[in-house]
Structure 1
């Protein structure tokens, strides 16, 4: 080096620095992993770019005289990274020749940066441990080999630039049997062959085999391929010398298979492509979905017809039962008028008793319903106060409005009034006819009073307070001209 030190690498001990003075050894220092090297094995020392550089299994390291240790080289690391460089040699043009394991390459200098170029024709030709490259000039580079040496005209090698072309020669699909979709293009190999029709493949043949090759027969060893299946792959494949590619069990969809070539000089071909479509399975086709829709509509129609038939049969059975009842009734009338009257009275009493039972049941149901609606509204108001989300508050308000609308519904009252008039012989109708000014609420209150319900029960049924019931009772008494000493229950029973 610049200080007249002699550097020597040992295959398994590390790197030695020998200080010489007056042709005598002054000192010997050993640099190992304790002095910055990644390992004591496989270290190869060279002087390149006036730097003491060591090729290791983890990249190129450089000697730092200030720290007296080896470090990852800031100069060589951007060029070689973590490559295992066994040999380094600089030529007159500033290029750095190197041997990476058994591959020969050149880090070409363009005045600013370095670009790596491999020479695959000489891969494995050098002798491990005895590597040597002699760069005489651009036209004469000598590389030591196992039996002599190789002569390389580097300038001519770089000029040997052939335009790359790639062609897809075979496309096959696989299913229950093989099917050749494309057998190659036999026109001018220097022209691109445009695919006219993209075949549509049945879903059963969804595995594919592609074969391709470069149209340049020269330097086949330096040709690499990269593939990409649009619609399936996420990125182009790594460079490979294989001239075939397989895909299995591809889903339904549109695809474009693309392939391109690269050579060791960095040349890249145009992309060759092949388009195809895999059809969905029959059970996912448009026709299948139409059939599914028709089946669904057919099921709905059958259910509808069955329900209609059931209703018709029930109506017929009801009419038959009515006819039978009329017939039996006529027979009884023929036997004896008194017997008929007796049976009729018994039947009426039974019907009245049944209607009374139904009326009582309906009344209790109305009371329970009113009570439950009130409790639900109360719980909803409590939950609403705890909500902070405006959307949820709006939903609660909607539910409360629905409950209020249900409470105001007259449907339950209409059903109740029908049953009530049947039991009490048109009591409500009689009140309407006798007292035309009476209101609907007053009619309802009159019915509840006739049933002798408590004030609390009436309040729940009418959705008012007990006080409101008392006021309603007072107004009703006044409208019907009932004296204060007459009980309203007794008055209505006499009507």
Structure 2
């Protein structure tokens, strides 16, 4: 039956799909509130009543809104035409209207809020439009995440896509258009559009300023600004740069050690090469020296041989000469004769030869 209890002008009434009822203490039973139902018309089946300023009440019938004025006793002035723009835009069964002060009321709608001013207002053409209300900011990458704190928005680089939902809290029946500009991304203001959300994808790191304004009947609202930042990717953060410096230092140290190692090996090879060349040179010098010594020895031996040959030849000549001399002496001795004219005897010859 969808029965709810409300207090209307200090009287308890009960709502139902069939209209409003009142309770009679004397008869101890419920009676239809025919007088009220007749004055409310189609709003007699309202499921919610919310007190407004003075003797005014909001009647809400499943998304439809009307403002009833009970200021004059016995009469009811019901205004639903001015709020027809809200029909179907309130969350069904969760409708809510909050009174800010005696003139202003905040109406919850499905995509934001609307403000109703019940006081004496200038003509619509002279009214200042309210600022655009940013309802929701979402960042999305692999999945969508809603940003709750709109005062300090920081978006990781891995989720550098952002969706901004906005609305104009304006209840009059009129075409509302929006124009936006993202400083650091857009080159100029966008064209006027009725869309109530905008997506920006692939944002680079840096600070951004999203500006949004609305236009109603050629009247432009003030600019609403939302600041947000896209953080640097992990490889451009301060910690990453510290890591890069460490890596560069390690690479520099490794290269230095490597070149030092190569230089040491090169110097070692040079020393070994020089030592080898020195040893070869010394070996060649030793061989040459030995060859020279051998040559000198050979020459000395040859000289000695020549000298010995000459000496031998001289000796041989002397011997030959002596032999010839001895032979002549022998011949002469054999021819010797004694005083008697006789040849000497063999004994005498042997003695003489022995003496010679």
Q: TM-score, normalised by structure 1?
A: 0.31
Greater RCO structure (CA 8 Å; 6+ sep) = 2
Higher Cα Rg, which structure: 2
Q: TM-score, normalised by structure 2?
A: 0.41
